[in-house]
Amino acid sequence: MALIDNLALGFDTALSATTLFWCFAGVTLGTFIGVLPGVGALATVSMLLPLTFHLDPTTALVMLAGIYYGAQYGGSTASILLNLPGTPSAAVTCLDGYPMAKQGRAGVALAMTTVASFFGSCVAIVIIAKFAAPLAEVALRFGPAEYFSMMVLGLLAAATLAQGSPFKGVAVVVIGLLLGLVGTDVNTGMQRFTFGIPDLFDGLNLVAVAMGLFGVAEVIANVGKVRTVSGDAGRITLRSLIPTRDDVRRSWFPMIRGSGVGAFFGILPGTGSSIAAFMSYAVEKRVAKDPSRFGKGAIEGIMAPESANNSAAQSAFIPTLTLGIPGDAVMALMLGALMIHGIAPGPRVVVEHPQLFWGLIASFWIGNIMLVILNLPLVGIWVKMLQIPYRILYPSILLFICIGVYSINNNAFDVLQVVVFGLLGYGMMIMGFEPAPLLLGYILGPLMEEHLRRALLLSRGDMTVFLTRPISAGFLTATFLLIAFVTWSALRRRRRPAPAMVPGA
Amino acid sequence: MRETRIDIRDLLAGTFAIGLGAAAVWIAQDYPFGSLRRMGPGYFPTSLGWILIGLGTVIAGGAFLRGGLQPRPAWRNLIAVLAGILAFALLVERFGLIAATAALICITAAADRESSLRGTVILAACLVAMTLGIFFYGLGIPFRLWNWPF
């Protein structure tokens, strides 16, 4: 039983005192920033990236991953109590979570979303443990043509399935690809887009780009807007957490369906937990006997998206670790962390670093159990966190950003990059661009160029190589189907008025 | 938010994309282009630039077909936050971490209309103490704390 051996190795790594400590630190911090509206997992992971340079790669990834899935647990708290999503992926939870709170059922909603999150994570972890290694074996046979086509699929999926105009989404990805090219070209040693500035010869600083685009831009958009919970709504007793028998009965199938939808979008490279949550809500509404209950406090409407976003957050590790293609923007940062530690992402990670791979998976189990303990009995503490005024929070966030970026190379030029990307990020928000896919493009830019060059060198300039190799053709067919689907749904939406979107989504 | 006859956001977005794409194509002219078989360093960026110009044209063109909402940038937040970070970047090497931190907090506090002078000073003091405690003493990152260049 190879799986048992592997898991044993994993638990051996994950149960060491240091790993346990950093796992706990990660999930606690993740829940904290998930609860707070206006601070997302993306901003936090990029803020803490410099700190993890001092840890060994396994521990670093365990902690960063903990922040990510911990935030999925915490995200629903503000959605339910304030009608304001703590994380983008919890935006759908507002639709039925806030009405439940208004009906005096906030406790039930908070408890049940924790259960849904745990369930979704467990399903996804089983899928990772079972399928990641075989998938990596298939991926070992990929050549440059396959990689290029897969990246096209992933980037287009990230660009078009996000909210807003698909053209804008693709434009953001292309901007990201271009930014990724800044620096020295690996093939010829030529300086590209560096404007003669020596600090740019190694490319833009990943942490500065991420913090500017997400951390700083989020702060600019949120100052003066974020509300805090008033004393009365913040009182959650343990007794109020207990669901009725009817709640439990109604929750089973939405959780199972939500986990499935989440796992699908998690594995699909480029798409992450926000899309999964929206899709699973749409699925629930479609299969429901009485769709009119949705939006008025239907428990199905919180169970499905919460299990979906956790399931997606966990299964996004599958493409990231086995193919080296990030599942979403946070995963792009994880890949960045791996590269900084000198580990080349790709199918060889499973074989060459089994301790890292299986240790991470084992830490998911442990982290999720910690999260249930953190979120069920201690929910009152997290609700109290919503009383911290943003006026204190945002200068602290900006300070952490500045110090974090500065400490990487002790170079003030990196902090200047944060200013530029903060401006770019906020400008993109104003122009209605979704900035997250930019990071995917930025990470994949150099890789994509490299694989395109190699594929065409091997085929002697014959473009049909992408269609004659079966796996590559498969990816391109999927890309074509995706574009057809997006066009079809855009046309359908034009005929019928679009449903009102969640505020702040 | 005020409604507008054409979609100003999309018009801006399209123009921005066209501008970036054109800049990429123009700068990449200096890099050898190569051929499909042997791509030079200019091939990929030039292609991306043209794609971006094309997408920008579609986005900007679509803006004339429908109405939209007037975008309302939060200028005060934008300027205060970016000026604070800029101050940090300029001060940290010449004057040290403490001065840079204090400047960052005091300038960014201007973004929030409700912030008071007293509250800001207290917050800055607390955060300076916390920074020293966590980063300098706790994690042992060797920052230059204080420096007077004159």
Identity at A197, one-letter amino acid code: I
Mutate to test the interface with A, among B1, B31, B48 (most CBs of A within 10 A): B48
Residue B48 at interface with chain A, using a CB cutoff of 8 Å: yes
In chain B, the residue whose alpha carbon lies closest to the alpha carbon of A463 is B36
pLDDT score of A503: 36
Chain B contact set for A221 (CB, 8 A):
74, 77
Across A477-498, average pLDDT: 76
Beta strand pairing status for B68-69 and B3-4?
Answer: antiparallel
Residue A167 at interface with chain B, using a CB cutoff of 8 Å: yes
Residue B17 at interface with chain A, using a CB cutoff of 8 Å: yes
Residue B134 clears pLDDT 50, i.e. is over it = yes
Chain A contact set for B115 (CB, 8 A):
391
Identify which of A39, A483, A55 has the alpha carbon closest to the alpha carbon of residue A222.
Answer: A39
Residues with Cβ within 8 Å of B120's Cβ and at least 6 positions away in sequence, in order, are B105, B106, B109
Give per-residue pLDDT as tens, A275-314. Answer: 888 888 888 888 888 888 888 888 888 899 999 988 998 8
Mutate to test the interface with B, among A54, A148, A174, A493 (most CBs of B within 10 A): A174
The H or E element containing residue B68 is strand B68-69
pLDDT score of A493: 67
Size of the A and B interface in Cβ pairs below 8 Å:
178
Rounded CA-CA distance A149/A315 in Å is 21
pLDDT score of A47: 78
Chain B contact set for A412 (CB, 8 A):
89-90, 92-93
ipTM of the complex as predicted = 0.93
Chain B contact set for A177 (CB, 8 A):
48
pLDDT score of A500: 40
pLDDT score of A505: 31
Residue B5 at interface with chain A, using a CB cutoff of 8 Å: no
Instruction: Give A 220-249 residues with CB within 8 A of chain B.
Output: 220-221, 223-224
Give per-residue pLDDT as tens, A194-250. Answer: 888 888 888 888 888 888 888 888 889 888 776 666 655 556 676 777 788 888 888
Residue B75 clears pLDDT 60, i.e. is over it = yes
The partner residue sitting opposite A431, judged by closest CB among B12, B135, B141, is B12
- Three-state DSSP class for B12? helix
The whole-chain average pLDDT of chain A stands at 84
Residue A401 to chain B, least CA–CA distance (Å): 9
Partner-chain contact B40 A461, CB within 8 Å? no
Partner-chain contact A170 B55, CB within 8 Å? yes
Rounded CA-CA distance A225/A221 in Å is 8
pLDDT score of A498: 43
Residues with Cβ within 8 Å of A111's Cβ and at least 6 positions away in sequence, in order, are A241, A242, A243, A376, A379
In chain A, the residue whose alpha carbon lies closest to the alpha carbon of B56 is A171
Across A446-472, average pLDDT: 88
In chain B, the residue whose alpha carbon lies closest to the alpha carbon of A183 is B41
The partner residue sitting opposite A460, judged by closest CB among B37, B74, B127, is B37
Chain B contact set for A452 (CB, 8 A):
39, 44
Partner-chain contact B82 A185, CB within 8 Å? no
Identify which of A359, A339, A399 has the alpha carbon closest to the alpha carbon of residue A22.
Answer: A359
Residue B71 at interface with chain A, using a CB cutoff of 8 Å: yes
> Between the ranges A104-108, A470-474, B139-143, where is the mean pLDDT highest?
A470-474
Residue B93 at interface with chain A, using a CB cutoff of 8 Å: yes
Residue A168 at interface with chain B, using a CB cutoff of 8 Å: yes
pLDDT score of A413: 92
pLDDT score of A423: 95
Phi/psi at B120 (nearest 5 deg)?
A: -65, -45
Higher pLDDT, residue A350 or B25: B25
Residue A281 at interface with chain B, using a CB cutoff of 8 Å: no
pLDDT score of A74: 84
Partner-chain contact A167 B88, CB within 8 Å? no
Residues with Cβ within 8 Å of B57's Cβ and at least 6 positions away in sequence, in order, are B14, B18
Strand spans (E) along A240-364: none
Mutate to test the interface with A, among B12, B65, B88, B141 (most CBs of A within 10 A): B88
Mutate to test the interface with B, among A401, A426, A431, A449 (most CBs of B within 10 A): A431
Instruction: Give A 110-149 residues with CB within 8 A of chain B.
Output: none
Residues with Cβ within 8 Å of A485's Cβ and at least 6 positions away in sequence, in order, are none
Rounded CA-CA distance B90/A412 in Å is 7
Residue A20 at interface with chain B, using a CB cutoff of 8 Å: no
Across A478-485, average pLDDT: 89
Rounded CA-CA distance A418/A337 in Å is 18
Residue B129 to chain A, least CA–CA distance (Å): 12
In chain B, the residue whose alpha carbon lies closest to the alpha carbon of A216 is B81
Partner-chain contact B41 A395, CB within 8 Å? no
If phi > 0 it is left, if psi is from -120 to 50 it is alpha, else beta; for residue A104 that is left
Residue A483 to chain B, least CA–CA distance (Å): 15
Chain B contact set for A395 (CB, 8 A):
104-105, 108-109, 123-124, 127
C-beta of residue A343 within 8 angstroms of C-beta of residue A133: no
Residue A407 at interface with chain B, using a CB cutoff of 8 Å: yes
Categorize the per-residue pLDDT at B79 as very low, low, confident or very high, splitting at 50, 70 and 90: very high
Give per-residue pLDDT as tens, A340-396. Answer: 888 888 888 888 888 888 888 889 989 999 988 888 888 778 787 777 788 888 888
Higher pLDDT, residue B78 or A226: B78
Give per-residue pLDDT as tens, A62-116. Answer: 999 999 888 888 888 888 887 777 777 888 888 888 888 888 888 888 888 888 9
Partner-chain contact B45 A193, CB within 8 Å? yes
Residue A369 at interface with chain B, using a CB cutoff of 8 Å: no
The H or E element containing residue A183 is strand A183-184
Residues with Cβ within 8 Å of A504's Cβ and at least 6 positions away in sequence, in order, are A37, A84, A85, A91
pLDDT score of A418: 93
